[in-house]
Amino acid sequence: MVIELLKFQVDPNRRESFIQQDAEIWTTALAKYPGFLSKEVWINPHNLSEVTFIIRWATREQWQAISEADLAVIDSKFAQALGDTYQLIESAEYQVRKFPHT
C-alpha cells in the first residue's frame, strides 16, 4: 500500500467548503481509478487553516497511472469551484510496511 499525503493551507472561513468540494470533485473522481482504496481528511485543531488529506493506493503503479490530462481536468474543476482560497504546502509519498506481532 502507498500513502499520498497532501497538506493544504486554506482560508479558515472556507475550510468546510474546501473539504466538501474536495469530496465532491477530487474524491469522487479518484475513486473511479483502479488502486484507489480510501481517503481521510485530517484537521489540525491548533491551526484552522491547515487541512491534510491521506489517500491510500493499492500500488504506486496504479496511482501514477492516472494521466496528467485527467488530473488537469479535475484540478481545473476544483480550482473553478473554490477560486484562490487554498494552497498546496506539502506533498509526500509513504509506503506502508506491516510487521507481524511477536
Tens digit of pLDDT for each residue in 31-86? Answer: 999 999 999 999 999 999 999 999 999 999 999 999 999 999 999 999 999 988 89
pLDDT of residue 98: 80
What's the count of helices (H) and strands (E) in the chain, helices before strands? 4, 4
Q: Is the pLDDT of residue 15 over 80?
A: yes
Q: Which domains are seen in the chain, by residue range?
A: 2-95 (3.30.70.100)
pTM of the model: 0.90
- Strand 36-43 vs strand 2-10: parallel, antiparallel, or unpaired? unpaired
Q: Is the pLDDT of residue 6 over 90?
A: yes
Residue pair 4/37 in contact (Cβ under 8 Å)? The answer is no
The three cell numbers locating residue 100:
507481524
